[in-house]
Structure 1
Amino acid sequence: KIMWVMYEHPETHFEELALRFMDIRKRIYKFPKMGVKAKMIAVTTTSGTGSEVTPFAVVTDDATGQKYPLADYALTPDMAIVDANLVMDMPKSLCAFGGLDAVTHALEAYVSVLASEFSDGQALQALKLLKENLPASYHEGSKNPVARERVHSAATIAGIAFANAFLGVCHSMAHKLGSQFHIPHGLANALLICNVIRYNANDNPTKQTAFSQYDRPQARRRYAEIADHLGLSAPGDRTAAKIEKLLAWLESIKAELGIPKSIREAGVQEADFLAHVDKLSEDAFDDQCTGANPRYPLVSELRQLLLASFYGEAFAEQ
């Protein structure tokens, strides 16, 4: 996508493209008009990112390893081709990491402060398809083309959801964690998402994200709604029980897909992690995805989330 921008407008300065904003429609820097020299046709060959239908791009600075997520509707492809035949021979690890990336997209989109009735349906349907088909797609591969196709579709549907509702601090931290320690993006999300749910599911957060349509904390209720939609809850379950069942499902599918239980178990050395955790926390706070998270974080809270996820511990308020 960035190659497309630079081809159409070689005079463009990357630093201006990367400027953060609160409202994508009211940004200081306006992206140039696209599609004059070329059309963008996106053909997805993995089942995860949803980039074929989103206004997002991520650029890595090779010199520093820093990842810069960019967002503007000008980056949305003109056409998306979603053909499951292209992913039938996808390796199991890529299936797992991409599938859990899509799960995270849908979860974060549903609890985002920008969520709406338009994005909600996409997020919930993506989660339902992933719950029902991701394990079979992982274990059976091309022997189960129906499962592979439904996971492929779910990744695109989740992409449509977060194209409209944006993401949250799980992605903010995953961008920085992945670039610093060379962890695949979907795996980084999988290592963080359960603790992010525990963090967000608070009706009295330290600080709530300010947005006109988001007048009170809603994440606890929204996570409970996801549990209901996925058939995880039982009649009479209270909100806390529903959230625990959602977390239990996530932990079980991560285990089934061979996901490590902690960042340390994923191969990151403790001394190396501790040397970088402060910078990771600061950079994650400054990530474009942070602004749509339902709970606006303190840098110290992001640090606590990263530390808990490194040691494989459940996040708890301090």
Structure 2
Amino acid sequence: MQKFKISTEVCFGKDSLLALGDINANNAVIFTDAFLTKTGVAANIAGYMKNCKNIKTYSDIKPDPPVELIADALRFLLDADADVVVALGGGSSIDAAKSTVLIARKQTGKDIPLIAVPTTSGTGSEVTSFAVITDRQAGVKYPLVSDSLLPKTAILAGELVASVPPQITSDTGFDVLTHALEAYISTAANDFSDAMAEKSLELAFEFLPRAFKNGNDEIAREKMHTASCLAGMAFNAVSLGVNHGIAHSFGAHFHIPHGRANGMLLPHVMWYNAGLDGQGLEPTMSRLAKIARLIGLPAYNAKAGAQNLVNKLKTMQRELSVPQTLKDCNVTKEAYEGVKAHIIQSALNDACTVTNPRKLNEKDIENILVNVAKF
């Protein structure tokens, strides 16, 4: 038996931020980062929360939130006696809020609602039961998985993404592509997740280049927000694959932004999973060919379609300034060689790798890494 569940209310389109006015609370806490606080975005969000008596802001969120930050945020949340939390920002802010609220609920016994307001179009964290926290000392990212992590409401406000610079638009956009593609070829994929993933990919392949070239393209920004959310719904139900398994380790060891790591790896992992190395994995190859046809690429047979999709990803990498190698991400050969064995083991043991369509061993991971470990 399989299940597909969507329990988060999604508010989108024009004036979606008005939904914040529906929050009734004595003590509200906004989780965000220093940039969104300094630029007044957090204050603007607080202005919509007209039915909250007291609003405090925790603005110390950092990329790849470490366990120490979660402990600090928990103290802040408990001191504020929060009745509701609004997570404002990218995946790091939302993941930090999800993790902190989960612990606070267990400690206080209070049902603290979480409202997610993403300011990047990438992680899909606003509709998933996952969160990732980092143990920097150990060089490990820990995925948390629980339906209790699901936000009560997600607010997709395209205007909050307009100022995102091109490089971050590229990083987060490739995160969307990776989420949707890995969900689509997951061993747990089903008709419901396929519908979400297919629409996400259709939107992302069309509108990501537009959003990258012109951040003020309102339609492109709104469509990428939708694509990100749909991809989140898809992988929340059926998980991901080894692309994420490796990217998690890259982030933990080298602090490469998650979407950037995913984008760097994506064509090589899809090539491997399709069996284009001569293994001929027909089911995965055929599914990737179907996506090729969906976005208008030639696919006179499964192999040609899958290869054309991989080539399209490589073309988009170049057009959207995605780094091609670890060296492009300022990683030295010495640093890589020092943790290579750990990266391979972490990728094999990562929860996302379980649903990868092609089974892997250490040599397989190493063969994928060869494509990006060029110095």
Q: TM-score range by the shorter chain?
A: 0.7 to 0.9
How far 1:164 sits from its partner (Å)? 1.1
Task: Give 1:254's aligned residue.
Answer: 317
Task: Give 1:161's aligned residue.
Answer: 234
Give unpaired runs (5+ residues) of structure 1: 12-33, 207-215, 313-318
Q: Matched residue of 2:171: which SS?
A: helix
TM-score by length of 2: 0.71
Task: Give 2:124's aligned residue.
Answer: 50
Task: Give 2:307's aligned residue.
Answer: 244
Task: Give 1:184's aligned residue.
Answer: 257
Task: Give the alignment partner of residue 287 of structure 2, picking from 202, 222, 228.
Answer: 222
- CA-to-aligned-CA distance 1:193-240 (integer Å, 9 cap, x gap): 11111111139999xxxxxxxxx9621111111111111125xx1211
Task: Give 2:150's aligned residue.
Answer: 76
Q: Matched residue of 1:58: which SS?
A: strand
Higher alpha-carbon deviation: 44-53 or 71-80: 71-80
Distance 1:68 1:51 in 2: 15
Given that 1:203 and 1:218 are in contact with CA atoms closer than 8 Å, whether structure 2 keeps it comes out as no
How far 1:132 sits from its partner (Å)? 0.9
1:193 aligns with 2:290: no
Aligned-partner residue type, residue 238 of structure 1: N
Distance 1:49 1:224 in 2: 25
Give unpaired runs (5+ residues) of structure 2: 1-97
TM-score by length of 1: 0.83
Task: Give 1:128's aligned residue.
Answer: 202
Task: Give 1:306's aligned residue.
Answer: 369
1:91 aligns with 2:165: yes
Given that 1:175 and 1:185 are in contact with CA atoms closer than 8 Å, whether structure 2 keeps it comes out as yes
Runs of 4+ in 1 over 6 A off after TM superposition: 203-206
- CA-to-aligned-CA distance 1:66-97 (integer Å, 9 cap, x gap): 11112222211111111111111111111110
Distance 1:133 1:204, change over 3 A: closer
Task: Give 1:277's aligned residue.
Answer: 340
Q: Matched residue of 1:43: which SS?
A: strand
Distance 1:292 1:81, change over 3 A: same
- CA-to-aligned-CA distance 1:22-79 (integer Å, 9 cap, x gap): xxxxxxxxxxxx9x42111111111100000011100111322311112222211111
Distance 1:103 1:305, change over 3 A: same
Aligned-partner residue type, residue 272 of structure 2: Y
Aligned-partner residue type, residue 168 of structure 1: G
Q: Matched residue of 1:174: which SS?
A: helix
Distance 2:367 2:304 in 1: 24
Q: Matched residue of 1:259: which SS?
A: coil
Task: Give 2:136's aligned residue.
Answer: 62
How far 1:290 sits from its partner (Å)? 0.8
Task: Give 2:104's aligned residue.
Answer: 7
Given that 1:136 and 1:147 are in contact with CA atoms closer than 8 Å, whether structure 2 keeps it comes out as yes
Distance 1:309 1:116, change over 3 A: same
Task: Give 2:328's aligned residue.
Answer: 265
Task: Give 1:102's aligned residue.
Answer: 176
Aligned length: 277
How far 1:271 sits from its partner (Å)? 1.8
Task: Give the alignment partner of residue 118 of structure 1, picking from 192, 198, 221.
Answer: 192
Aligned-partner residue type, residue 241 of structure 1: A
Task: Give 1:292's aligned residue.
Answer: 355
Identity level (%): 37
Q: Matched residue of 2:178: which SS?
A: helix
Given that 2:267 and 2:313 are in contact with CA atoms closer than 8 Å, whether structure 1 keeps it comes out as yes
Given that 1:127 and 1:154 are in contact with CA atoms closer than 8 Å, whether structure 2 keeps it comes out as yes
Kindly report the root-mean-square deviation, in angstroms, between the aligned alpha carbons of the 2 structures: 2.0
Distance 1:253 1:77 in 2: 32
Distance 2:358 2:107 in 1: 38
Distance 1:183 1:204, change over 3 A: closer
Q: Matched residue of 2:151: which SS?
A: coil
Q: Normalized per residue, which structure has more strand?
A: 2
Distance 2:188 2:130 in 1: 16
Distance 1:203 1:103 in 2: 20
How far 1:300 sits from its partner (Å)? 2.2
Aligned-partner residue type, residue 105 of structure 2: E
Task: Give the alignment partner of residue 139 of structure 1, picking from 202, 206, 213.
Answer: 213
